Structure 1
């Protein structure tokens, strides 16, 4: 699914840009958000390049994407605007990312089709 490749590229670009910003401005929350974006960008690219996309794997990627938006969005809102995205946004995002990784792990347990 080429949309995953595009999303991975955008997430990676945002991670690099935010890393540069954090290095020059000393933003701890920005650096953490950048790291999480950079950690997850390759996964989206790999999922986009996979020959056999399936619904479970796509759901896991969606859950990871939602988690990244909530977690990183909350950290970036705190840094740039001085307020939270909403109460418990970062923990909810972290749980969504954990869930997304578990769903992707689960997707590897199914039968392989040829």
Structure 2
């Protein structure tokens, strides 16, 4: 496995760990209504990153587009979950529109996976 897929798999591991930690905090902290969605976003998309890297490696989706999509999942999940966690812990946003930008990037990443899965490979 080349360098970028390994980095993406490592990011997925960190996303999964952070998702579990946020889920535990959400279960035990008072008024942690933002931590549950942040946890879900990280956990669901950590799995999506792993699956996308695996599919790209096996040629089931276009490799480069698949890795770009997986990168989008990582960046978007961090923006979305990071904004929610920042609001919980500090009362401040990560930056204006971080969560909506992350959400839109997630949609684009999912759609790019769809397109590259359906687009016929050459050769």
Provide the TM-score with structure 1 as the length reference: 0.89
> Stretches of 4+ moved more than 4 A in 1?
none
Return 5+ residue gaps in structure 2 as ranges. none
Q: Does 1:103 align with 2:112?
A: yes
Residue deviations 1:30-86 (CA, integer Å, cap 9, x gap): 111001111111111223333236111111112222211211111011001110111
1:30 aligned residue = 35
Distance in 2 between residues matched to 1:55 and 1:88, nearest whole Å = 28
2:74 aligned residue = 65
Distance in 2 between residues matched to 1:48 and 1:89, nearest whole Å = 25
CA contact (8 A) 1:15 1:37 kept: yes
Distance in 2 between residues matched to 1:112 and 1:40, nearest whole Å = 26
Provide the TM-score with structure 2 as the length reference: 0.83
Give the superposed CA RMSD: 1.7
2:103 to 94, 102, 105: 94
1:16 aligned residue = 20
Count of matched residue positions in the alignment of Structure 1 and Structure 2: 114
